């Protein structure tokens, strides 16, 4: 038992530069729900793409450094923390679990995510939450233009400001913004903050470990005017 523990302890750190991307992902993907090896640290990511993608176990992975494209892509169950900034498409198409970015996120953060939670403690660039399908995204800073474009389901919470055309062609995702919104996209409107929304927002902020008053946010959603094609709406298409 002692030997096994020592071996396990040695294997918790993966040096990406030394051991390579394939080894990293294969090792993490092989972990199952009952693994003893629940905590993993990745060092020397150096902006590499596709780090910790396709994970499917309730393990905790910490990336010490910044990453390239698609870090945490298609994540299930795992909790991935990046002590740095991330490139485009962080946590894209995530289905469950949690991805936390301590720095900033590039374009398409949380794109098409079906579930799970994405927390960005810095800012997120354009198209944050594009086509999201159930994921919850909480951004401490600002988000760029065209965020939540065609967002279908889930919640996007922004403690800072939102860029142009927020929520363009929105479906049923809920958008909560504390700061300013430069402009709303087609079919996106401000909606009342009701008790259920305050309650939901409080839960999302708590999950992201962020301290903000839910009552200080505004809520945006779909006007549902583009759900059926109508020639009189042609200027909106």
Residues at the site binding other proteins, with contacts judged by CB under 8 A? 21-22, 25-26, 29, 49-50, 53-54, 56, 68-70, 73-74, 76, 88-89, 92-93, 95, 107-108, 111-112, 114, 127, 130-131, 133-134, 149-150, 152-153, 169, 171-172, 227-229, 231
Residues near 47 by beta carbon (within 8 Å), at least 6 away in sequence: 66, 67, 68, 87
- Is the Cβ of residue 18 or residue 232 nearer to other proteins in the bound state? 232
- Is the Cβ of residue 50 or residue 212 nearer to other proteins in the bound state? 50
DSSP state, residue 180 = -
Q: State the nearest-atom distance from the C-beta of 63 to other proteins, in Å.
A: 15
Q: State the nearest-atom distance from the C-beta of 195 to other proteins, in Å.
A: 23
Q: State the nearest-atom distance from the C-beta of 89 to other proteins, in Å.
A: 4
Q: State the nearest-atom distance from the C-beta of 150 to other proteins, in Å.
A: 6
d(CA 83, CA 44): 11
- Is the Cβ of residue 68 or residue 214 nearer to other proteins in the bound state? 68
The pairs formed by 112-117 with CB atoms below 8 angstroms and a separation of 24 or more are 113/137, 113/154, 115/154, 116/75, 116/76, 116/91, 117/207, 117/208
Of the candidates 128, 226, 231, the one whose C-alpha atom is nearest the C-alpha of residue 186 is 226
- Is the Cβ of residue 50 or residue 198 nearer to other proteins in the bound state? 50
Per-residue CA distances from 97 to 91, 126, 128, 213, 219 (Å): 10, 23, 18, 25, 25
- Is the Cβ of residue 134 or residue 167 nearer to other proteins in the bound state? 134
Q: State the nearest-atom distance from the C-beta of 37 to other proteins, in Å.
A: 19
- Is the Cβ of residue 73 or residue 144 nearer to other proteins in the bound state? 73
Query: Which residues is 155 bridged to in the sheet?
Result: 136, 174
Q: State the nearest-atom distance from the C-beta of 50 to other proteins, in Å.
A: 4
Instruction: Tell me the residue length of the chain.
Output: 237
Per-residue CA distances from 147 to 63, 158, 209 (Å): 26, 11, 22
d(CA 197, CA 8): 44
């Amino acid at each position: 038992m002692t030997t096994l523990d020592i071996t396990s302890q040695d294997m918790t750190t993966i040096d990406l530069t030394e051991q390579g991307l394939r080894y990293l992902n294969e090792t993490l993907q092989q972990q199952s729900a009952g693994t003893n090896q629940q905590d993993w640290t990745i060092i020397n990511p150096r902006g590499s793409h596709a780090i910790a993608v396709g994970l499917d176990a309730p393990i905790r992975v910490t990336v010490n450094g910044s990453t390239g494209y698609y870090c945490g892509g298609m994540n299930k169950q795992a909790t991935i923390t990046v002590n740095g900034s991330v490139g485009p498409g962080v946590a894209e198409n995530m289905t469950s679990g949690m991805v936390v970015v301590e720095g900033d996120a590039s374009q398409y953060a949380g794109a098409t995510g079906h579930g799970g939670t994405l927390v960005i403690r810095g800012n997120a660039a354009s198209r944050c939450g594009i086509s999201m399908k159930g994921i919850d995204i909480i951004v401490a800073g600002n988000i760029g233009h065209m965020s939540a474009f065609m967002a279908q389901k889930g919640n996007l919470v922004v403690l800072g400001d939102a860029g142009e055309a927020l929520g363009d062609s929105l479906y049923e995702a809920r958008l909560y913004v504390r700061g300013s919104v430069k402009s709303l996209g087609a079919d996106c409107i401000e909606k009342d903050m009701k008790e259920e929304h305050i309650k939901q927002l409080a839960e999302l902020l708590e999950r992201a470990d962020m301290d903000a008053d839910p009552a200080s946010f505004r809520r945006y959603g779909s006007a549902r005017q583009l759900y059926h094609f109508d020639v009189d709406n042609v200027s909106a298409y």
